[in-house]
Structure 1
Amino acid sequence: MKVKICGITDVETAVTAAQFGADALGFVFAESKRRVSVAEAQEIISHLPKEIYKVGVFVNESSDAIEKIASTVGLTHIQLHGDEPAAFSALLSLPVIKAISFQGNEKLTALANFPSDFILLDSPKGKYRGGNGTVFNWSEVDPDVINTKKIILAGGLHADNVEEAIKIIKPFMVDVSSGVETDGKKDLRKIKTFIETAKSTLVGR
C-alpha cells in the first residue's frame, strides 16, 4: 500500500517521512493552516529523493500559476481540490490527482471520464477543501464506480482506522494529514506508525 503524507511544512518532517517509507508528500498552496510558500516548498523538495511523489495541492488556481509553481519547486503531480473542470485538468503538463468530496456514487460516476491520473476520495468539505480530519462512510462507495481510476483515499484516516479503510476501499494509495498530527503539528512518531500500519495491511482482490 502506498502512503501520502500531506500538509508538509518543514524539511525535517519531509525527509523523515521519506525515510519511514512515504511514497508521496503533499504541499498545500491553497488557503490552509498548512499552506507553504513557493520558497519553503522549493527548499523542502530539494532535500527529497527523486523517486518520491511531490504533490502540489491547489484550489481554483490558474493554470499558469500552477505550472509556474510546479516548475519552480519541482513538483511531480498536481492535486486539484477545487471546482476545476475537465478542460482545465487536460491543460496541465503533470499527472493530475482530482479530489472529490464523497457525496454519493452519482457524483463519482460523473468523474469516470475526467482527465486525471488519480481520483482522491475525501470527506465532505469543512472549513477548508481538505485536511479537515473527518471520516465518511467507506461502505457507501460502489467499487464498480471507482475501478477505472487509481484511487487515493483521504479523510480522517489515522493509524487506528487505516487498516479497515484499506480493506473496504482497496485504494492505490492512502493520504493522511491531521491524522498524523499532535496539536496541529506533524508528529514523527504518528507518521511512522501510520506508514507501518498501512503498508502491513493485506488487501484481498
Structure 2
Amino acid sequence: MRQSQMRTRAKICGITRAQDIQAVVQAGADAIGFVFFPPSPRHVTVGQAQSLAKHIPPYVQLVGLFVNASAEEIKTVLDSVPLDVLQLHGDETPEQCQQIAESCKRRWYKAIQVKSDLDVVAEVQRYQSAGASAVLLDAWHPELKGGTGHRFDWNKFPKLEIPLILAGGLTPENVSEAIDTTAAFAVDVSGGVESAKGIKDQQLIEKFMQGVQRGSAK
C-alpha cells in the first residue's frame, strides 16, 4: 500500500483548446496547465489563456508554466488570467523564485530536470527552503524545458515531506506503475495524452485518469 494512502493528484498540461478543458474536467483531473513559453508548441497567448480560463470550473486549479520569465512578465499575465499557481520551469534560482512569488502574490512550485549526477534531495530542499509549495521532477533534456516525452529513473524519486510531482514520459499505459514506484503526490502529463502537439485526445485523457486511480488504489 502506498505510504500516503491519499489519492494521487493529476494535472494535464499544455491545454490549448476549450474542448480539451471539458475533457480534462470530465475525466476528473485536479489541475489544468497553460504554457506561457513562446518556443513551446503548446504555447498560448495571454488573450487565448484569458478566453480558455472562462471554461474552467471551480475546484479545478489553473497553473501557469513560465520559463525564465521576470516578475513583471508574469504579472502582465496575471492581470488577465486568474492563475492559481505558478510553475517555474526554467533556470530560476531559489532566490529568484522567492522574489517572483512575493511580487506576484502567488504560490509556486519549481520544476527540476533530473540529471544523472544531480543530488535530487539537496536540490529539492533548496527550493523548499525558499518557500516552494511543491517540486516537480522531470526528465532532463539539453534543449527542451518539459514536454520531452522522456522519463528518468523512477527509482531515483525521493521520499520527502514536501509534495513531489512526477513528470516526464508519462502515458496511460505506465502512469499506474509510475505512481506505485514513486508514491508521488501528483503526476503531470502533456504529450502522453495528445494526438498532436497541443491537441489533447479525450480517450487518452480518460485512460490516463483511470491509470491514476488504479495507481492510487494500490
Aligned to 2:68, the other structure's residue is in SS state coil
Asked if 2 retains the 8 angstrom alpha-carbon contact of 1:180 and 1:191, the reply is: yes
Are 1:173 and 2:186 an aligned pair? yes
List runs of 5+ in structure 1 lacking aligned partners.
none
Are 1:163 and 2:176 an aligned pair? yes
Are 1:190 and 2:198 an aligned pair? no
Asked if 1 retains the 8 angstrom alpha-carbon contact of 2:23 and 2:205, the reply is: no
Aligned residue identity for 1:62: S
Of the candidates 53, 58, 72, which is equivalent to residue 50 of structure 1? 58
In 2, the alpha carbon distance for the partners of 1:3 and 1:107 equals 22
Identify which range, 57-66 or 97-106, moves more after superposition.
97-106
2:144 is matched with 128
> Deviation of residue 55 (structure 1)?
0.5
Q: TM-score, normalised by structure 1?
A: 0.92
Aligned to 2:19, the other structure's residue is in SS state helix
Q: Percent identity?
A: 36
Are 1:35 and 2:43 an aligned pair? yes
1:117 is matched with 133
In 2, the alpha carbon distance for the partners of 1:203 and 1:17 equals 21
In 1, the alpha carbon distance for the partners of 2:59 and 2:133 equals 17
Aligned residue identity for 1:18: V
Q: CA RMSD in A?
A: 1.5
> Deviation of residue 172 (structure 1)?
1.0
Deviations 1:175-204 (A, max 9, x none): 000000123321111011101210232366
In 2, the alpha carbon distance for the partners of 1:203 and 1:112 equals 29
Aligned residue identity for 1:49: P
Of the candidates 15, 21, 24, which is equivalent to residue 22 of structure 2? 15
Taking a change above 3 Å as real, the CA distance of residues 13 and 126 of structure 1, as seen in their structure-2 partners, is farther
> Deviation of residue 168 (structure 1)?
1.2
2:93 is matched with 85
Deviations 1:43-86 (A, max 9, x none): 11111112111010000010111122123111000000111111
1:101 is matched with 113
Aligned to 1:99, the other structure's residue is in SS state strand
Runs of 4+ in 1 over 4 A off after TM superposition: none
In 2, the alpha carbon distance for the partners of 1:194 and 1:107 equals 27
In 2, the alpha carbon distance for the partners of 1:106 and 1:71 equals 37
Aligned residue identity for 1:131: G
In 1, the alpha carbon distance for the partners of 2:142 and 2:21 equals 26
Structure with greater contact order relative to length (CA < 8 Å, sep ≥ 6): 2
List runs of 5+ in structure 2 lacking aligned partners.
1-7
Taking a change above 3 Å as real, the CA distance of residues 9 and 44 of structure 1, as seen in their structure-2 partners, is same
2:5 is matched with none
Of the candidates 159, 165, 186, which is equivalent to residue 152 of structure 1? 165
> Deviation of residue 2 (structure 1)?
1.0
Aligned residue identity for 1:137: D
Give the number of equivalent residue pairs: 201
In 2, the alpha carbon distance for the partners of 1:86 and 1:156 equals 26
